[in-house]
Structure 1
């Protein structure tokens, strides 16, 4: 089986998930990756056959989507030329992790596809939303990618077509401990803001992963670290809790490890508001947005926050078995035989 796997290259989450999934997908056939976008800082250790600037998602200084930059980043004629040249029709299966170009190419060429990833979960009304919905946020999450099937990933199985998070093997196999530090990953906030927010909590040591810091910097009870994946994994595995945004991958890894979480959605990011609503339902402490967080919130969480453990160890097997059971070839009436090339 020939598999076309489109991966959105905005941020690191999509690429990280693709790297985790790749050895499992390759049991079902030959996989060619289409990397679409140019707004990621993670090296894609993937079998990339096609690349494009794609349609990257950009954010403004407050963390919200920069719609004008998104809309005017590409020449429409050049973009349409790329779309028409995508060889999706040459593959037995097209898997799309939130890429607009692949979505349009499949529609133009009448090729079935599977939208697979966290954003696909928002096609279903059962997926948690915040009390105040945003029409433009809903439009982006639900209609940015069109597909024959939508298979979502989320914190819980809110719908039969939604599965648990895809977790890196390093996290799944880890032996977590509870050391004295709190891990902090809030790239939307400046180092100065984090210093002002956390330094008054003098009885707690914070290990902060910062996009501004280039070397280890100690400031009282705060240690600022450059963002580096292995160092972050170690810090998360052995922390007593984590303060992070309300994205998907980092809170899911913390849930897998049974860590106490304080989730703070980035102001203006509707997807994070949705994730925060889901985490709140699970019993995870959340704050309304990065703009409203105060030192008193940190103290209350340290005193009252609770740990929660969810097991995502079977998510890959369950999600891929379902994907291959519902996916279709170019002829919608001819289902793909759900058998891997070698035994999983």
Structure 2
């Protein structure tokens, strides 16, 4: 069997998952990897075809920047990629929210299986906000449309939904708890973060940001550029984590039994769904970055005690049998 594993690189979670799943799939089949998108900082550990695809961008204060999304993406180039991607040579396409191969398979009637967190978010039994997110929800549905999918979520709402896949590098961490908070909010500019975090003077904040080119100490905040190895070392010893309401990284924080505070990206339907799912588990968060709420969280020392079962082998068996 020859498989094309396609994933998108808007964010790091899809690549983190691929770094676990692709080696497992290669035990059963010949696997090529196709990556589209342009704003991920985590490297894929292997050979892959890179494509510009369609990427998402954010405003200064943590919301989707639709003007930048339109400006930075070439939809003509995207359509050409859909026409030219060589999917006919593969017996199966496994798609982790990747739009080029999703549309190519749709229009060429090629067998494709979705394997993404987004599939679980859209499931009827998964929690969804009551607010109107018409445009963001439409993007989620139409970005990489696939009928037959397996999903990942914090809770198993259905037998087609699996627990998060935790990387071995996270499983093998020797954890301690030093008195600082690790911050990863890549949709916020550094000055916006400093404006809030500097007001909480009895805590040190270690911030990793795509907007940092060099490390910089500013008051009780230390800003670092994205560096996977350095980030992981700080994750091992932090007291807690302040991050977006994504999926893979909050799942890793929960696995490590660290304090967790999440802030969903404004206007992004998927992150608000995650925010609700995490709140159901007892995770603290807020829709805005507020000083009083962060202080209350810090004083609480709350840690959500949850364990995620490793279902990787079962998942691969189901995918290949399907």
* Equivalent-residue separation in structure 2 for 1:202 and 1:39 (angstroms): 32
Shift of 1:295: 1.5
SS of the aligned residue for 1:89 comes to coil
Contact 1:167–1:313 (CA under 8 A) maintained in structure 2:
no
The residue aligned with 1:10 is: 10
Q: Name the CA shift for 1:88/1:187 in 2 (closer, same or farther; >3 Å).
A: same
**Structure 2 counterpart of 1:298, from 283, 294, 297:** 294
Cα shift readout 1:275-332 (whole Å, capped 9, x = no counterpart): 111111110011013xxx2211111001125112333351322322222232xxxxxx
1:61-89 Cα deviation digits (max 9, x unpaired): 4443344554563253x544432332222
Pick closer, same or farther for the CA change 1:128–1:305 going to 2, 3 Å: farther
1:138 CA drift (Å): 2.2
1:101 to 1:231, Cα distance in 2 relative to 1, 3 A: same
Secondary structure (helix, strand or coil) at the match of 1:230 reads helix
Distance 1:65 1:221, change over 3 A: closer
Matched, 1:236 2:235: yes
Write the distance in 1 (CA, Å) between the matches of 2:244 and 2:169: 21
1:168-225 Cα offsets, whole Å, 9 max, x none, are 1110122322222211112233333332322232222222223333333333433222
Alignment of 1:31-110 (within 5 A): 31-48=31-48, 50-70=49-69, 73-76=73-76, 78-110=77-109
- CA 1:125–1:301: 2 relative to 1, 3 Å: same
**How many angstroms apart in 2 are the aligned matches of 1:129 and 1:75?**
29
1:143 is matched with 142
- Classify the secondary structure of the residue corresponding to 2:296: helix
| Residue 319 (structure 2) pairs with residue 320 (structure 1) | no
Question: What do the CA deviations read for 1:211-268 (whole angstroms, capped 9, x no partner)?
Answer: 3333333334332222211111111122111111111121111011111101011222
Specify the SS of the correspondent of 1:35: strand
Alpha-carbon offset, residue 115 of structure 1: 0.9
User: Please, which runs of 5 or more residues in structure 2 have no aligned partner?
Assistant: none
Where do 1:1-344 residues align within 5 Å? 1-48=1-48, 50-70=49-69, 73-76=73-76, 78-289=77-288, 293-326=289-322
SS in structure 2 at match of 1:280 = helix
| Structure 1: gaps of 5 or more residues | 327-344
Larger Cα Rg: Structure 1 or Structure 2? 1
Q: How has the CA–CA distance of structure 1 residues 136 and 268 changed in structure 2, closer, same or farther, with 3 Å as cutoff?
A: same
What is the SS of the residue equivalent to 2:121? helix
Distance 1:210 1:109, change over 3 A: closer
CA distance in 2, matches of 1:16, 1:312: 16
Between 317-326 and 275-284, report the one with greater CA deviation.
Answer: 317-326
Q: Partners of 1:63 and 1:41 in 2: how far apart? A: 18
CA separation of 1:189 and 1:75: change in aligned 2, threshold 3 A: closer
Give me the whole-angstrom Cα distance separating, in 2, the residues matched to 1:74 and 1:156. 36
Q: Residues 63 and 269 of structure 1 are in contact (CA less than 8 Å); yes or no, is this contact kept in structure 2?
A: no
Is contact 2:216-2:224 (8 Å) kept? yes
- TM-score, with structure 2 as normaliser: 0.91
**TM-score normalised to structure 1 length:** 0.86
Q: CA RMSD in A?
A: 2.1
Query: How big is the shift at 1:8?
Result: 0.8
State the aligned residue count: 321
Contact 1:112/1:148 (8 A) holds in 2: no
